Amino acid sequence: MESKRYEEDFKIIRTAIDSAKNPIDKLGQFFKNYAMINIIIVALNLIVNLYQGLAMEIYIVKMICFVYLAYCIIRMYKEEKSNVNQYYQAILYIYGIVVVVIPVILWIARITRLVILNNEGHQVSKMLEMLMNLQVFSAIVLLSVSFLVVSFVCSNKVCAICALANLAVYLIVLAIDKELSIENIIIHYQDLYYYIVLVLGYMVMAKCIRKE
């Protein structure tokens, strides 16, 4: 009788522990995957600027990377759909919009620009430029939000400082609005910062979560 009661108590404790497991671990793995994908995309962008003949092959690889990220987010959402933490679900929604929805809209806009000519095509080009700027800004803001989430969960004040510094540096670089020219490659400072910080930022957060 006594052993049965202990067994029931053990089951209750185990259930409580399992239900209290922090889904931030899965988010940490996504951060790592996202950083690795961004490394690949940066490398592909450099290659396509140097070797124009590989544009189609590189485009296909980019699409594969995009599909993989979309799969990761959808899988995370399905696994955590029953999670009562509404804030965590909101974070997944935001990642879905920035990582999946906005790139899809950009892709549709690019196709539309190729199909439509004259004045309408010019308007589509303007819309495409606006969407690209929105994508970069959204990714920067999302990075700062991610830093704040990790700071709260891991009690890491450094991440909170990184969140503020990230926005401040981006706004400064955006205000400077200058270009860096290396051989055939011309890149704006804000775009260079965007690529670097997306890789380093998510790698740092993944490491912080892993330590926890």
Using one digit for the tens of pLDDT, what is the confidence trace for 49-92? 777 667 777 778 888 888 888 888 888 877 777 665 666 777 77
Extract the tokens encoding 99. 């990582």
How far is Cα 187 from Cα 135, in angstroms, rounded to an integer? 16
Domain extent listing, the chain: 20-211
At 48 the pLDDT is 75
At 45 the pLDDT is 78
The rounded percent of the chain whose pLDDT value lies above 70 is 74
Average pLDDT, integer, range 125-143 = 81
Task: Give SS3 for 82.
Answer: coil
State the pLDDT confidence band at 202, using cuts at 50, 70 and 90: very high
Buried residues in 72-95 as b, exposed as e (16+ CB within 10 A): bbeebeeebeeeeeeebbebbeeb
Contact 11, 126 (CB under 8 A): no
For residue 188, pLDDT over 50 is answered with yes
HSE (side-chain half, CA atoms, 13 Å) at 178: 5
The burial of 39, by beta-carbon neighbours within 10 Å (0-12 exposed, 13-18 middle, 19 or more buried), is given as middle
HSE (side-chain half, CA atoms, 13 Å) at 200: 10
At 212 the pLDDT is 63
Q: Alpha carbon of 124 to those of 26, 28, 101: distances in Å?
A: 38, 37, 18
Chain position carrying tokens 């209290």 = 20
Average pLDDT, the chain: 77
Average pLDDT, integer, range 205-212 = 82
At 19 the pLDDT is 45
Average pLDDT, integer, range 181-210 = 84
Which of the pair, 11 or 104, is modelled with greater confidence?
104
Most confident of 20-34, 46-60, 139-153: 139-153
Contact 69, 110 (CB under 8 A): no
What is the CA angle 12-14-15, rounded to 5? 65
Residue 83 carries which side chain, given as an amino acid letter? N
At 13 the pLDDT is 45
